[in-house]
Structure 1
């Protein structure tokens, strides 16, 4: 096992720069998740770590070894792809053993590693089947097993659950979490699904346009996002955002929203962020924000209410239940002031 260090890594395709000097430290045994929208550079960064993409500048180290010029097979990493990339004519055993056979590993050692990985992943009974006789979740476990048998220093996962249905995603996500706990290996996982990121990660790296926006533990990013982008990206449903201005008495107001006092390190307009799950039904005189009910989503253990303020601004509230489900009725909502988030509209940075 080994940690990983990325220093000022740049990636360009011709004159187009897609990674802009990334710096990141990953500790030995950490489970780190790269998240961000499509095109943010998360898969490109993962592929550069794997050696599948050349870096245009900077340095990548695995353990204490710089691997910029090291071939992918010799970096001590194993990658699990979005597509399972299994050989359809080979059995599960031979798919998992293929890389070891290519490396001329002794047969007894191959048998030991494949059987041990199959036991970890609960696929012992499938070893003599071909991939077409397996479900999507079983195929993904074979792909993960193929990585395990290599006994790498670092595991790399590139959106491995995106081809699975919702139930299988939840089940396989749990299996990956247990795998990390059992092996204690360094794992780097790419996803656009923030639920996967929040539930799996020791540390989340949020990327946008080839830059790291914030690095931290899941609840750190949720509770104290550094900027508007992270605040909107982390959390489901997304954080409600309201543009507000200071009035003559140093109180921020924006329609029914009122937040005081004025932050000292702000200048100009402020964006107030209210998480949907922190809004609670209340009496009109206690309301932080009120809105006309437009739509209710019934999701079993909770409901999501889509509301419209009197000035036409839309927002969302999430709760176990609401005082009303009648479309057009006015809903009054309060929240703990300590959970209000403030951002400078011009810089988009958090006001601390």
Structure 2
């Protein structure tokens, strides 16, 4: 096993720079998730670590070795892609053993590694099947098994659950979490799904436009986002933002501070509490209610036209178009500079 160190890593395609001086330390055995919107550079960064993309500037080290000029096959990493990329004419066993056979590994060692990986992933009964006779979740487990048998120092996952339906995504996500717990190997996982990031990661790296916005544990990013971008990206539904014009007359008394015109107030939907107008921090006209059984998502529009969401235990009693007030515990309010977006 090994940790990773990235120092001032940059990537250019001609005159276009897509990764802008990334510095990052990943500890041995950590599960790190790269998360961000499409085009933020997370997959490009992963591919540079894997050796599938050249590094324009800076250094990538795996353990104590700088690997900028080391071939992908010699870096001690194994990558699981969004596409399963299984050989359709080979059995599951042969798919998992293929890389080891190409490396001229002893047949007895191949048998040991494939059997051990199949046992970990609970696919022993499928070893003689062909990929076409497997479900999507089973195929993804075979792809993960093919990585496990290489006994890598670092596992790299590039949006591995994107091709699965909702139920299989949840199941396979749990299997990956258990796999990390069992193997204790360094894992780097790319996703645009912040729910995957929050549930899997020891450490989350939030990227935007080829730059790191914040690095921290899931709870750190949720409770103390460094800026407005992270605040709205982490959390589902996303954080609501209000200017002074959106706040109720009594908001300053409830929040315990005077909100200035140079800041936005961030309030998470799950922290909004139904209340009367006199003690409300914000009020909104009821627009739509999504009743999801265990909770309701209440969609509202403020007097200034700002759309926001409250997450409540049950739907409000108000009719559509009626005004509803919400309060919040002062310690759960967030404040961000309107110009820079930085936390205040």
Q: Which TM bucket (shorter chain)?
A: over 0.9
Alignment of 1:173-322 (within 5 A): 173-244=173-244, 254-255=247-248, 257-258=251-252, 259-262=255-258, 269-322=262-315
Structure 1 window deviating more from structure 2 (283-292 vs 148-157): it is 283-292
Structure 2: stretches of 5+ with no match in the other structure: none
Is 1:336 the counterpart of 2:332? The answer is no
- Runs of 4+ residues deviating >6 angstroms: none
State the distance in 1 between where 2:71 and 2:8 align: 21
State the distance in 2 between where 1:70 and 1:312 align: 55
Alpha-carbon distance, 1:296 to partner = 0.2
Structure 1 window deviating more from structure 2 (253-262 vs 196-205): it is 253-262
Structure 1 window deviating more from structure 2 (332-341 vs 38-47): it is 332-341
Alpha-carbon distance, 1:244 to partner = 2.5
State the distance in 1 between where 2:306 and 2:211 align: 31
Q: 1:169 to 1:325 in 2, by over 3 A?
A: farther
Which position in structure 1 is the counterpart of 2:70?
Answer: 70
Alpha-carbon distance, 1:326 to partner = 2.3
Matched residue of 2:244: which SS? strand
Alignment of 1:30-179 (within 5 A): 30-179=30-179
Which position in structure 2 is the counterpart of 1:345?
Answer: 338
**Deviation string for 1:68-118 (max 9, x for gaps)?**
000001000000000000000000000000000011000000000000000
Given that 1:255 and 1:310 are in contact with CA atoms closer than 8 Å, whether structure 2 keeps it comes out as no
State the distance in 2 between where 1:102 and 1:318 align: 54
Which position in structure 2 is the counterpart of 1:19?
Answer: 19
Which position in structure 2 is the counterpart of 1:249?
Answer: none
Matched residue of 2:45: which SS? helix
Alpha-carbon distance, 1:329 to partner = 1.9
Structure 1: stretches of 5+ with no match in the other structure: 246-252
State the distance in 2 between where 1:17 and 1:262 align: 42
State the distance in 2 between where 1:126 and 1:342 align: 53
**Deviation string for 1:162-182 (max 9, x for gaps)?**
000000000000000000000
Matched residue of 2:264: which SS? strand
Given that 1:296 and 1:325 are in contact with CA atoms closer than 8 Å, whether structure 2 keeps it comes out as no
Alpha-carbon distance, 1:65 to partner = 0.6
Root-mean-square deviation over aligned CA pairs = 1.3
**Deviation string for 1:25-59 (max 9, x for gaps)?**
00000000000000000000000000000000000
Given that 2:264 and 2:337 are in contact with CA atoms closer than 8 Å, whether structure 1 keeps it comes out as yes
State the distance in 1 between where 2:199 and 2:106 align: 38
Alpha-carbon distance, 1:284 to partner = 2.4
TM-score by length of 2: 0.97
State the distance in 2 between where 1:151 and 1:243 align: 53
TM-score by length of 1: 0.94
